[in-house]
């Protein structure tokens, strides 16, 4: 079902809250728009020149406009304190435990998303800025670290299991980027020097979404939502949401391909 505002299809467990916030904001903004428009027309007619050939130095004495202003401020406070802050608080205070979630590191760079999985042990191998090689080792993964042996890395391809919380730890190698997947209602800046977690629960697989939209080519897309340089427009990654079994199979294949072949070369 399409949203009345034409938002992208929803594919995450908590995204509905964001949608209701966006919907209510639009409803109130529409009321304001109509209200201010009507007020403008009213002043044009009420204070027309033929009715007031000479300026009135007392001006308006009624307090109606003050009450209206207070009303608008009250509605804005409700939007902020009753909707936005609780949703934000729930997102940042109740991060699912890492043991129940899939933890992925995503590192932005000009102009790509580097994805790093901890592999079977779920432990991320050490990375070192000195080992970075843009072609062969964009993350600077330290191959001598035992935890790095089963790590899996990809560029611009984020594979996720369905119905399991995902914690994405966002990092950046150069400038501020922003990790945005519209269908998950997720948008978070990646800031150099920080590791910023963002979490969500994808609940529609790519295959289901293709069937639902009738578009066999449908792909979830990671858009960089910060103007980060000349190549910003092509900084796009893809998310593939798989069933739990398919994801496990994908991960096993990747571990075999990258871990045992040791593509970083000892
Ligand atoms: Cu970017």
266 band by pLDDT with thresholds 50, 70 and 90: very low
Cα of 220 vs centre of ligand 1, distance in Å, is 17
Is the pLDDT confidence value at 134 over 90?
A: no
DSSP code at position 249: H
Cα of 199 vs centre of ligand 1, distance in Å, is 19
Cα of 193 vs centre of ligand 1, distance in Å, is 15
> pLDDT, tens digit, for every residue of 29-82?
999 899 999 989 999 998 898 988 888 888 778 898 899 899 989 988 998 998
Cα of 180 vs centre of ligand 1, distance in Å, is 10
Helices (H), the chain: 15-46, 64-78, 85-93, 206-213, 244-254
Cα of 227 vs centre of ligand 1, distance in Å, is 6
Cα of 47 vs centre of ligand 1, distance in Å, is 52
Name the pTM for this structure: 0.83
Largest CA distance in the chain: 90
Share of the chain above pLDDT 90, in %: 57
């Amino acid at each position: 079902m399409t949203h009345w505002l034409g938002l992208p299809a929803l594919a995450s467990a908590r995204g509905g809250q964001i949608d209701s916030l966006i919907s209510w904001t639009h409803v109130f903004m529409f009321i304001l728009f109509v209200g201010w428009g009507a007020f403008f027309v009213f002043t044009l007619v009420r204070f027309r020149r033929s009715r007031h050939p000479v300026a009135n130095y007392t001006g308006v004495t009624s307090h109606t406009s003050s009450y209206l202003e207070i009303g608008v401020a009250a509605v804005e406070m409700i939007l902020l304190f009753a909707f936005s802050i609780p949703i934000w608080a729930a997102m940042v205070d109740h991060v699912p435990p890492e043991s129940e979630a899939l933890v992925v590191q995503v590192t932005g760079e000009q102009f790509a998303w580097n994805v790093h999985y901890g592999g079977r042990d779920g432990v991320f191998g050490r990375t070192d800025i000195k080992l970075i090689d843009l072609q062969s080792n964009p993350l600077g993964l330290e191959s001598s670290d035992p935890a790095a042996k089963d790590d899996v890395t990809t560029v611009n391809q984020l594979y996720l299991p369905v119905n399991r919380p995902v914690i994405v730890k966002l990092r950046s190698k150069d400038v501020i980027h922003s990790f945005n997947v519209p269908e998950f209602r997720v948008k978070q800046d990646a800031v150099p020097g920080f590791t910023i977690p963002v979490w969500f629960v994808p609940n529609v697989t790519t295959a289901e979404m293709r069937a639902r939209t009738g578009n066999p080519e449908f792909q979830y897309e990671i858009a960089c939502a910060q103007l980060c340089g000349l190549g910003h427009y092509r900084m796009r990654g893809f998310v593939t949401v798989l069933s739990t079994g398919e994801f496990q199979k994908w991960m096993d294949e990747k571990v075999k391909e990258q871990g045992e072949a040791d593509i970083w070369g000892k």
